[in-house]
Amino acid sequence: MGITKVKKSKKIVNSLVRSYLNYRFKRIAQFMEYPGQVQTMLRKSLIDQAANTVWGETHGYASIKNYSDFTQRVPIQSYEDLQPYIHRMMLGEPNVLWPGLTTHFAKSSGTTNAKSKYIPTSKDGFDDCHIQGSWDSVALFYQLRPNAALFLYKNIILPGSLSKIPQYPDAIVGDISALMVENMPAIGRVFYEPSVEIALIENWEDKIERTAQLLSKRDDIGMFGGVPTWNLILFRRILELSGKDNLLEVWPNLQGYFHGGVGFEPYRKQFEELIPSPDFSYLEIYNASEGFFAVQNDFSENDMLLLLDNGVFFEFMPLSEIGSSSPIVLQIEDVELGKDYAVIISTNSGLWRYELGDTVQFTSIKPYKIIISGRTKQFINVFGEELMVHNAERALSETCKEFGVTIAEYTVGPRYFTSKEKGGHHWVVEFERPPDDLEKFADVLDGNLQKVNSDYEAKRFKGMALERLALTQVPTNTFFDWMKSRNKIGNQNKVPRLSNSREYVDAILKFVGE
C-alpha cells in the first residue's frame, strides 16, 4: 500500500474513532448530570450480579434492599480480610468474589508494605472499568483538544511484565499496565509501540534499552503514557541514541502525555524541557491496580473527574474515622469540599467495601472532581502537623520554580525530639539540577509548607514545636539504585513520599553511606 493510501486510511480510522468518542462523551455527560442515581443503580447491579457467589451467599446479597442493608452486612474490608477469598480464586475456584473464573491478578506491592498484593481483575473489570476508563481518557482528550489525532500515529505505554507463580499455575500475574497491554483491544495494538514482546520483558533495564533502540529510529509517535520516572529514563536514552536535543526533534507529531501513579508537579519542568512546546497537552489519570477511577477533564485545572459508571461504587471515609470499629462512611452525595477522605470501593472484580489506601479531596461537586491528597499510610502527623502528600508536592513545586531547579525524587520522614533538639522533618532529595544554595532552598521550602498547611504553620510558629526542616541532598541515581537493590523496579513500585517513621529516610541514607 502506498504512503498516500496509508495516510488516508489512518485519517478514516481517526475519524471513526472520534465518532465513537463523541458517543462515549455523552455517557460521561450522563453521570455528570445524575451522579447519585448512576451510583445507586451501579451498586444494585454489582450486588445482584454477585448474589450467587461464595461472598454473596455468605453476606446475604439476595436480600439486600438498600444501602443501609449493604453497610450492615458488609464491614469495611482490608486486603488481609479478602486475601483468603483471593487465594481460592488464584487456585482456580470460580464464583468466589465475582461470578465466573478469574484468571488475571494485578500484582501490587504498595508503597509502605513489602508484601505483594494480588488484586483480582475479572473480564468485567477489564472491559467495563480499565479498558472503558482508557477510552474515557481518550474521549476527554479529544474533547479538550479539537485537533487531536492520536490514531494517525503510534502511541507508547511502557508496562510492567507478566509472570506465573508455582502455587497458582493457572493465574496470570503482573502489574495492571502489563495486564492491560496483554488484553488490549485489537484496534489499540495497531497504534501501539513497542511490540508486546518487548513491552512485557521482565528486566526493566533490558526493556528500556530495547525500546529506546527501536523508538529512536521512529518519527511517528503521537502520545505516550505511564509513570513519569520510567518515561524520563527512557527518553534520556532515546536522546542519547538519536543525538537530538529534545523529543520534538525525534517525534515532531507529539500531542499528549497521559500520566498518573505519582504526583506530576515535581516532574513537570523536566518534561517541559524535553518537550518544549506550548501546544503539548498533559492529561492526568487515576488508574490503579484496583480500577480506573478518574481523569482530568480540563487542561487548565489539576483536578480529575470521578468516573461514576465504570464498574466501581464509591464510598468515602473521613480521616478521623480511620481505625474506628464503626466508622462513619459517606456516599458521594454526602461529601464536602476541601476535606480529606479515604476511598472505599466495591468493584466488578469482586472487591467489596475495600479500603483502597488513597485519600482524596473534592474540589467540585457539580460535577464531582477530586485531587489525590495522599495515602492513608503516607503522611506525617508525628507532631500534629497533618502534612499530606499534596501539601508537600505543592510546596516543593513552588520552591523549585522560585529557584529554577528540578528534582528527580524525594522522600520525607520525621526528626524526633531529643533532649537537645525539637522535632522536625527530614527531607532527602535527589536533584536533577540542584540549587546554588541548599540551605536557602530549605528555608524557602519550609516557608512554602507553612503557606499550604496551617497545622504545619502553627507547629512551626517561632520554632516552639517544630524546628525548620532539614534537607539532605543525595547523588544522581540514588533512588533508582536503592529501589533496584530492593527489587522494586517497575510501574507499580513508587518511591514513598511521606512516612510517619524514619524507615525510608534512614534506609536511603544508609544505602548512600554504603
Please, which residues have CB within 8 angstroms of residue 33's CB and are 6 or more apart in sequence?
Answer: none
Q: Transcribe 336-396 into DSSP letters.
A: -BT-EEEEEEEETTS--SEEEEEEEEEEEETTEEEEEEEETTB-B-TTS--B-HHHHHHHH
pLDDT computed for residue 390 by the predictor: 79
Domains of the chain: 1-373 (3.40.50.12780), 389-513 (3.30.300)
Kindly list the distances between the CA atom of residue 72 and the CA atoms of 66, 184, 281, in Å, as whole numbers in the listed order: 10, 38, 45
Q: Report the 3 state secondary structure along 382-404.
A: CCCCCECHHHHHHHHHHHHHHHC
Q: Comparing 253-257, 259-263, 405-409, 492-496, which segment has the lowest mean pLDDT?
A: 492-496
β pairing state of 281-288 and 256-259 = parallel
92-104 pLDDT, tens digit each: 999 999 999 999 9
Q: Comparing 111-125, 384-398, 478-492, which segment has the lowest mean pLDDT?
A: 111-125
> What is the chain's Cα-based Rg?
23
Distance CA 295, CA 315 (A): 18
| DSSP helix, strand, coil percent of the chain (3-state; round to 5) | 45, 25, 35
pLDDT computed for residue 449 by the predictor: 94
- Coil, helix or strand for 226? strand
Q: What is the DSSP letter of 131?
A: I
Average pLDDT over residues 56-63: 98
pLDDT computed for residue 420 by the predictor: 65
Dihedrals φ, ψ of 405, to 5°? -115, 165
Residue type at position 404: G
Q: Taking 60 as the threshold, does the pLDDT of residue 419 lie above it?
A: no
pLDDT computed for residue 113 by the predictor: 39
Cα diameter, the chain: 79
Q: Which of 370, 346, 347, 368 is nearest to 284 (CA)?
A: 370
Q: Taking 60 as the threshold, does the pLDDT of residue 3 lie above it?
A: no
Please, which residues have CB within 8 angstroms of residue 426's CB and are 6 or more apart in sequence?
Answer: 412, 413, 414, 415, 469, 470, 471, 472, 502, 505
Written as nine digits, the cell of 494 is 513508587
Please, which residues have CB within 8 angstroms of residue 214's CB and are 6 or more apart in sequence?
Answer: 193, 194, 198
Rounded (5°) CA angle 56-62-68: 90
Average pLDDT over residues 130-138: 94
On whether the CB atoms of residues 170 and 164 are closer than 8 A, the answer is no
Please, which residues have CB within 8 angstroms of residue 335's CB and are 6 or more apart in sequence?
Answer: 316, 341, 362, 365, 368
On whether the CB atoms of residues 241 and 216 are closer than 8 A, the answer is yes
Q: Taking 80 as the threshold, does the pLDDT of residue 224 lie above it?
A: yes
Q: What is the DSSP letter of 61?
A: G
Distance CA 316, CA 402 (A): 36
Q: Which of 131, 124, 67 is nearest to 99 (CA)?
A: 124
Q: Where are the alpha helices (DSSP H) in 50-172?
A: 54-58, 67-73, 79-90, 123-125, 132-144
Neighbours of 194 (CB within 10 A): 21
Kindly list the distances between the CA atom of residue 179 and the CA atoms of 13, 156, 409, in Å, as whole numbers in the listed order: 25, 15, 27
Distance CA 476, CA 478 (A): 6
- Our CA dihedral for 64, 68, 73, 76, rounded to 10 degrees, sits at 130
What's the burial of 384, exposed, middle or buried (CB within 10 Å: 0-12/13-18/19+)?
exposed
Residue type at position 109: S
Instruction: Report residue 353's pLDDT band, with 50, 70 and 90 as the boundaries.
Output: very high
Average pLDDT over residues 271-300: 95
How high does pLDDT run on average in the chain?
Answer: 89
Higher pLDDT: 385 or 63? It is: 63
Q: Transcribe 35-52 into DSSP letters.
A: HHHHHHHHHHHHHHHTTT
What is the percentage of the chain residues whose pLDDT exceeds 90?
A: 61
Instruction: Report residue 88's pLDDT band, with 50, 70 and 90 as the boundaries.
Output: very high
pLDDT computed for residue 357 by the predictor: 86
Q: What is the DSSP letter of 330?
A: B
**What pTM, to 2 d.p., does this model score?**
0.79
What is the percentage of the chain residues whose pLDDT exceeds 70?
A: 94
